[in-house]
Amino acid sequence: MLTFALTMVRHGETQYNRDKLLQGQGVDTPLSDTGHQQAMAAGRYLKDLHFTNVFVSNLQRAMQTAEIILGNNIHSSATEMVLDPLLRERGFGVAEGKPKEHLKNMANAAGLACRDYTPPGGETLEQVRTRFRKFLKTLYKSMVEDHESAFSPHLSDPEEPVINGLADDGVKSVPVHALVVSHGAFIRVSVRHLIEDLQCSVPVGVRINQLFSPCPNTGISRFIFSLCREESGLQVSRIHCVFVNRKEHLEELKLCN
Q: Domain of 198?
A: 2-24+31-90+124-256
Q: What is the pLDDT of residue 149?
A: 82
Residue 92 is classified by DSSP as B
Q: How many domains does the chain have?
A: 1
Domain-embedded: residue 112: no
CA 68 to chain centroid, in Å, comes to 16
Active-site entry in 67, 89, 123, 145: 89
> At residue 205, what are phi and psi to the nearest 5 degrees?
85, -5
Q: Is 257 marked as binding a ligand? A: no
Residues of the chain with pLDDT under 50: none
User: Over the Cα atoms of the chain, what is R_g?
Assistant: 18
Residue 15 maps to which CATH number? 3.40.50.1240
N-term to C-term CA, the chain: 47
Rounded CA-CA distance 10/187 in Å is 7
Domain-embedded: residue 69: yes
Domain-embedded: residue 100: no
Tell me, yes or no, if 231 is annotated catalytic: no
Domain-embedded: residue 95: no
Domain-embedded: residue 173: yes
Domain-embedded: residue 99: no
Q: Is 100 marked as binding a ligand? A: yes
Domain-embedded: residue 244: yes
Tell me, yes or no, if 230 is annotated catalytic: no
Domain-embedded: residue 102: no
Render pLDDT for 156-211 as a digit per residue (tens, 0 to 9): 556 677 788 999 999 988 999 999 999 999 999 999 999 999 999 998 888 888 89
